[in-house]
Chain A
Amino acid sequence: MTDWRQERTAREARLERARRHADGKVVPAARVVDLLEAILQPGDRVCLEGDNQKQADCLARGLSACDPARVHDLHMVQSGIVLPEHLDIFEQGIARRLDYSYSGPQGARIAKMLYGGQIELGAVHTYLELFARYFIDLTPNVALIAGVSADREGNLYTGPNTEDTPTVVEATAFKNGVVVAQVNEIVDRVPRVDIPGDRIDFVVEADKPFYVEPLFTRDPAAVTETQILMAMMAIKGIYAEYGIRRLNHGIGFGTAAIELLLPTYAERLGLKGKIATHWALNPHPSLIPAIESGWVSQIHCFGSEVGMDNYIRARPDVFFTGSDGSLRSNRAFCQTAGLYACDLFIGSTLQIDLQGHSSTVTTNRVAGFGGAPNMGSDPHGRRHPSDTWMKAGREAGGTGDPALRRGRKLVVQLVETFGDKLVPAFVERLDALELARKLNLELAPVMVYADDVTHIVTEEGIANLLLCRTLDEREQAIRGVAGYTEVGRGRDHAEVERLRARGVIRRPEDLGIEPLDADRSLLAARSIKDLVHWSGGLYEPPAKFRNW
């Protein structure tokens, strides 16, 4: 007779072995290694929670301290490879196979280990893809997650950085997996229940609060006049033109400049209420002036941001907050919102090729994707219209019955022609291709594909790729805004002027923008201190961003 409950039985056995290290559900930090060694079995699929912001770091240290003779050949399925321990476990033999999404700070080491064969790579995903696969073919046997506090029943308060936790727990707890949460403190009563206790098997009181990286804080003092010029062009030439109300911003200084120009430059253009009202966005400190000036209706967040908690708490009309008053973020929902409910994604990149493919990898770093490819893509499954979406669809044209034409999401790349250390952003061939060859990847790591990108904004102008009708036009439109890079100097001047006459390429003067007006005095805040003032003292920036 078929046994339909093998997984359930295995789960019971794991819990049985682990219970002697716990007092009820509670496990002291000193017993983490014992606990993990009792729960884990060789070959397990394990999600060690970590993304671009919060980290289950106490559990990560515990896992890397396990005996590789007992815990080995794990298959790690997690958003972020961020902490050194995330890779140490591969060197130790504790883990063997990896499916992940983002590896920012460990990008160089992960490339080296992939190259050396120390990691058996499944795939590099976007956040949404990996979350999706949690429910199909990468369901974790064990999830090691992080929260702010828990009660003795296991009811978990994740705090403002809810992020991936609900998704990871959903996939694990409801498919016979074991969930272990590290928390900063055990309390009698949690401020709000983010994860009900019956989904949490063990709670570890961590030796120190979990780490959160202030990834989305951009110091206005570092915004350059070139970035301001590009932001002015984006506002006037794209936001105003298409009436963009629902949007997602990337993490760079260019988009921070746009946020800081809303209450000044965009206000003077009379755009308040007409653009940038509904956001899928982390709580960017640089958006505070726009929020305070009444520009923003609401924001849904992937995660939180260090120092923004009190500000968010005081602005519940704008942010999604719980009954306790603090932010409730959710990466999976916000990614979905960015994909299907936003009309524009705008972000930066390191390399763009002649067709508009872009990538943030260089030959010795595999930084992963995070969420940008989902934000920066045209969702073919979208069915609700908006003026912005329909206008972009009309511009894209195409063959067939116009009545059956769908809209287009705007995907904008905001790049200076020369990046850090004067490395050109425009290239004939992406480094991603070379990396894929070196590492034997089936799929080159492209962040945004050419068929998704609609506009490229540089300090030289805007290229509207929707209006290009041939591959050659597209190439010249890109060359036409590529400045003094090799790619830019290789342009066909006559063709570029023809494209400019058609409005495919628009220079600052075509938009009525005087480059000399691009001055830092246009920024609504010129320093982190200004942001604190705008927030009425509610924003508490981390020490490394202060100059007072």
Chain B
Amino acid sequence: MDRETTWKPVTLSTAPLDQSWYEASARARLAGLLDADSFAEFIGPEQRMMSPHLPLFDLPRAFDDGMIVGRGRLAGRDVLAAAQEGRFMGGAFGEIHGAKLVGLLRAALVVKPAAVLILFDTGGVRLQEANAGETAIAEIMRAITQVRAAGIPVVGLIGGRAGCYGGGGLIAGTCARLVISEGGRLSVSGPEVIETNKGAEEFDSRDRALVWRTMGGKHRRLIGAADAFADDTIGAFREAALTAIPAAPAFDLPTLEAEQARLEARLERFGDARDATEIWGRLGINDPAAVPGLTTEAFDTLLAGLPEVSHDAR
């Protein structure tokens, strides 16, 4: 691979689709992702369905509990969508927050949308209502399998500040397709958690380059944990979602067996690697150190030359 990289100019555009996904609020992401003015929210903030637990801890609540659910259209087709607001308690799952997503998924079984889109932005379960949060994670995963079994693709979009951690990482694992951007991070245990439990020698959470090459979008795409890599704009996520929906595999035994085989092979091949760059090298990338600096275009070109990062499983 050529070390020379072309650097794209930073956009100063104010058009909604050019805005940064990472920077945008959950509502701005939904508004831009779906067809203009098509989003109708269920249980909106005006209904003030708030956490019953946070007042016990003297913590501020949000009228939507950091979860926005509703229906809208994507390129003219009806979809259901849920978005987490990472700026409220790190997008963490609590009782109401989780119940709204469970309800949306169960509704999908009835209204049969073209797809369900989940805009992840979460650090995991809310510690103040951990039992309710954990229960919600389990209910959501179960609901997703039911929706997928009914032939409805569930697509996860990851590119928010909080990343997709803890139970959010587990839920993402049950989605039919995942889209991720460079700033997006996908994992179960977060960097600080690993450092606290295993020490800074194992994982230095302040080494941000290490965090991103281990949990960030490019690495997740390269090892097949995510299926599509998007630029950090609302428009790019919209395009990627449009592509991901028809590509979603059937949720049947052959798919699950293919996924099992894929994961086993991955573990076998990379299980002893000490750093993401080792994995990239084994994938056949000539200059692994240059990967983090690649633009989306250059990264797409790189992906196109690596056939094994595409798969039909999940």
Contact = CB atoms under 8 A, between A and B. Distances in A.
B182 A548 contact: yes
B2 interface: no
Nearest to A264: B12
Interface in A512-545: 520-521, 524-527, 529-530, 532-537, 543-545
Contacts of B229: none
Interface string A243-287: 000000000000000000001100000000000000000000000
Contacts of A20: none
Contact of B210 (A526, A532, A543): A543
A9 B10 CA distance: 63
A8 interface: no
Contacts of B212: 546-548
B56 to A, nearest CB: 23
A289 interface: yes
A547 B23 contact: no
Contact of B208 (A526, A535, A543): A543
A526 B293 contact: no
29 contacts: A264-B12, A289-B10, A521-B20, A525-B10, A527-B183, A529-B182, A530-B10, A532-B7, A533-B7, A533-B9, A533-B10, A534-B9, A534-B10, A537-B5, A537-B293, A543-B208, A543-B209, A543-B210, A544-B208, A545-B208, A546-B208, A546-B292, A547-B208, A547-B211, A548-B209, A548-B216, A548-B218, A548-B292, A548-B293
Contacts of B182: 529, 548
Given A530-B10, A533-B8, A548-B209, A521 B23 contact: yes
Contacts of B9: 533-534
Interface in B127-173: none
A264 B292 CA distance: 28
Contacts of A263: 12
Given A544-B207, A545-B208, 5 more contacts: A530-B10, A532-B7, A537-B5, A547-B211, A548-B293
Given A264-B12, A548-B216, A537 B23 contact: no
Interface string B14-38: 1000011011000000000000000
A526 B23 contact: yes
Contacts of A544: 206-208
A215 B209 CA distance: 19
Nearest to A219: B208
A524 B12 contact: yes
Interface-central residue, B12, B182, B183, B211, by most chain A CB under 10 Å: B12
Contacts of B7: 532-533, 535-537
A524 to B, nearest CB: 6
Contacts of B8: 533
Contacts of B207: 543-544
A191 B237 CA distance: 49
Interface of B: 5, 7-10, 12, 14, 19-20, 22-23, 182-183, 206-212, 216, 218, 292-293
Contacts of A520: 23
Contacts of A525: 10
A422 to B, nearest CB: 14
B12 A526 contact: no
A533 to B, nearest CB: 5
A233 B112 CA distance: 51
Contacts of A537: 5, 7, 293
Nearest to B12: A264
Contacts of B22: 526-527
B213 to A, nearest CB: 8
A524 B12 CA distance: 6
Nearest to B210: A543
B11 to A, nearest CB: 9
Nearest to B9: A533
A521 B216 contact: no
A471 B46 CA distance: 50
A526 B216 contact: no
Given A263-B12, A533-B10, A526 B20 contact: yes
A261 to B, nearest CB: 11
A365 to B, nearest CB: 23
Nearest to B182: A548
Contacts of A289: 10
A261 B230 CA distance: 27
Interface-central residue, A263, A520, A543, by most chain B CB under 10 Å: A543
Q: Which 6 residue pairs of A and B lie closest in terms of their CB atoms, listed nearest first?
A: A543-B209, A546-B209, A548-B292, A536-B7, A546-B208, A530-B10
Contacts of A521: 14, 19-20, 23
Contacts of B19: 521
Interface-central residue, B10, B23, B183, B293, by most chain A CB under 10 Å: B10
A263 B292 CA distance: 27
A526 B24 CA distance: 12
A122 B2 CA distance: 58
A533 B9 CA distance: 6
A547 B183 contact: yes
A534 B10 CA distance: 6
Contacts of A527: 22, 183
Contacts of B210: 543
A367 B19 CA distance: 40
B87 to A, nearest CB: 12
A337 B104 CA distance: 63
A97 to B, nearest CB: 37
A79 to B, nearest CB: 28
A545 B182 CA distance: 15
A515 to B, nearest CB: 17
Nearest to B295: A533
A139 to B, nearest CB: 42
Nearest to B161: A221
Contacts of B293: 532, 537, 548
Nearest to A263: B12
Contacts of A530: 10
A293 to B, nearest CB: 9
Contacts of B183: 527, 547-548
Contacts of A546: 208-209, 212, 292
Contacts of A536: 7
Nearest to A293: B12
A461 B65 CA distance: 34
Contacts of A533: 7-10
A533 B11 CA distance: 10
A546 B183 CA distance: 10
Nearest to B292: A548
Nearest to A289: B10
A547 B218 CA distance: 11
A26 B8 CA distance: 48
Nearest to B218: A548
Interface-central residue, A525, A545, A548, by most chain B CB under 10 Å: A548
A525 B218 CA distance: 21
A171 B209 CA distance: 43
B190 to A, nearest CB: 14
A405 to B, nearest CB: 42
